[in-house]
A and B are shown apart, each in its own frame.
Chain A
């Protein structure tokens, strides 16, 4: 049951069955395409609008990736600063939490006004970064603290410097935590980018979220579904890429990635 084949094949069959059922029901009931289009109509719209949708996908992908990478650098960086200085952590951590718990939709208008409508992409980047940043910060902070106590003692015994403790012990110990944080943040960066674009609203933003708003305004529901489909695909790709990275980096040593022979 656990072979690679079944793990891919079974969900694929479920998907095909679902699409076939959808297609059949729409055709049989005669629902109008502007309420629920059939999968073939959506596929057709995807082909028709391929160039504009792909351009939007590229915009959304670019901003998501940039926000994600900045979140990794910022989150890991700040967590390292926290691990080196408890006072800074005590002083700043509550504000990092505050930033996290404030819904991104509610601060989006403010950020967009501050950055300016002529640079909406920067505002979207900032908002996506805000959402993606925290899971990496909190996971890395936890991970840096989770190094084995006896190993810590051993490092002390051999007179390791703080830098050696950080690079040789704390960061490798934190790696599984950082990767788990990255998996959450990858999805959140995409959500952040989409939400921010929705709020920005006008034609200044040209990502997939804008295509959805635009298609909604024109009641072009097949196109809306096509954009939605691309958005999901992007999210799934991000998730799988990060899962792959995790397996690659942890496969030799961490329980989560080790394949057990049964």
Chain B
């Protein structure tokens, strides 16, 4: 099997904030089409900044970001924040419709797609609910439905499940993995959970803080779909230990 084409190419990306904090110092990485890559690191390692640079929300002040496969940043990028970030005044369907609405797509034309996206995250029955009526996990599902409604080639997730309880988190990890397998959108997933990153990803980029940089690039070859069996397998434990060791090495410097 030939390797998929690179979608994102990061070359020497650096970012220093106005306060003098070096968020990122010379990050090089290539992310291939259809891949699932996690960025793992302690707080302050610049993983969220890196994600925002990829999204185009923050401009790097050093280095270059290029899109070898498409030539330019895709016009549709899904983004999921740590909080569900829903509009509290709008019903669930309206929230999911938002990306299409902002693109000027009429509601009648968009509604089948909205219903589709809600079905994918298992919330078909909650289209008319207000966000405050939903649990934390359900809100996050709405947020994922909203990110996927445009069928983006790229999904960026910034510690999406960090605020959820362990049980809900594992369930959402499985659902996300299933969606990714079915649609193969390229995913960059920021997390500070080693276990989550190893379970979900084809590849983990371990990052260190002060200054933010990539410490290790660890491939995870286990086949998908991964289930409970993988979580309890020897290779899983070993890879987690490797990621953990790489993190400790970075912290010791």
Q: At the interface, is chain A mostly helix, strand, loop or mixed?
A: helix
CB atoms of A252 and B103 under 8 A apart? no
**Contact flag A150-B85 (CB < 8 Å), given A157-B57, A253-B132, A258-B132:** yes
**Residues of chain A within 8 A of B99, CB atoms compared:** 158
Q: What distance in Å separates the Cβ of B245 from its nearest Cβ neighbour in chain A?
A: 33
**Contact flag A252-B130 (CB < 8 Å), given A150-B83, A154-B85, A172-B87:** yes
Q: What distance in Å separates the Cβ of B190 from its nearest Cβ neighbour in chain A?
A: 14
**Residues of chain B within 8 A of A160, CB atoms compared:** 102
CB atoms of B55 and A151 under 8 A apart? no
Q: What distance in Å separates the Cβ of A78 from its nearest Cβ neighbour in chain B?
A: 23
CB atoms of A151 and B87 under 8 A apart? yes
Q: What distance in Å separates the Cβ of A72 from its nearest Cβ neighbour in chain B?
A: 19
B85 to A, closest residue via Cβ? A150
How far is it, in angstroms, between the C-alpha of A153 and the C-alpha of B55 when the chains are bound? 10
**Residues of chain A within 8 A of B57, CB atoms compared:** 153, 156-157
Number of B positions contacting A (CB below 8 A) = 22
**Residues of chain B within 8 A of A169, CB atoms compared:** 87
B42-86 toward A: CB 8 Å interface, digit per residue (1/0)? 000000000010011100000000000000000101010101010
**Residues of chain A within 8 A of B17, CB atoms compared:** none
Q: What distance in Å separates the Cβ of A76 from its nearest Cβ neighbour in chain B?
A: 17
How far is it, in angstroms, between the C-alpha of A225 and the C-alpha of B89 when the chains are bound? 45
Question: Cβ of B131 < 8 Å from any Cβ of A?
Answer: yes
**Residues of chain A within 8 A of B88, CB atoms compared:** 253-254
**Residues of chain B within 8 A of A156, CB atoms compared:** 57
CB atoms of B132 and A158 under 8 A apart? no
A156 to B, closest residue via Cβ? B57
Question: Cβ of B242 < 8 Å from any Cβ of A?
Answer: no
**Residues of chain B within 8 A of A253, CB atoms compared:** 88-89, 130-132
CB atoms of B79 and A157 under 8 A apart? yes
**Residues of chain A within 8 A of B102, CB atoms compared:** 155, 158-160, 164, 168
CB atoms of A157 and B103 under 8 A apart? no
List A87-131 residues whose CB lies under 8 Å from chain B.
none
Question: Cβ of A148 < 8 Å from any Cβ of B?
Answer: yes
Question: Cβ of B101 < 8 Å from any Cβ of A?
Answer: yes
How far is it, in angstroms, between the C-alpha of A156 and the C-alpha of B99 when the chains are bound? 10
**Residues of chain A within 8 A of B132, CB atoms compared:** 252-253, 258
How far is it, in angstroms, between the C-alpha of A258 and the C-alpha of B102 when the chains are bound? 29
CB atoms of B81 and A150 under 8 A apart? yes
A155 to B, closest residue via Cβ? B102
Q: What distance in Å separates the Cβ of B199 from its nearest Cβ neighbour in chain A?
A: 26
How far is it, in angstroms, between the C-alpha of A210 and the C-alpha of B245 when the chains are bound? 83
**Residues of chain A within 8 A of B87, CB atoms compared:** 151, 169, 172
Closest 9 interchain pairs by CB? A253-B88, A150-B85, A158-B102, A150-B81, A160-B102, A253-B89, A172-B89, A252-B130, A158-B99
User: What is A's interface to B at a CB cutoff of 8 Å?
Assistant: 148, 150-151, 153-160, 164, 168-169, 172, 175, 252-254, 258
6 more A-B residue pairs beyond the given contacts A158-B99, A253-B88, with a C-beta to C-beta distance below 8 A: A157-B56, A159-B102, A168-B98, A168-B102, A253-B131, A254-B88
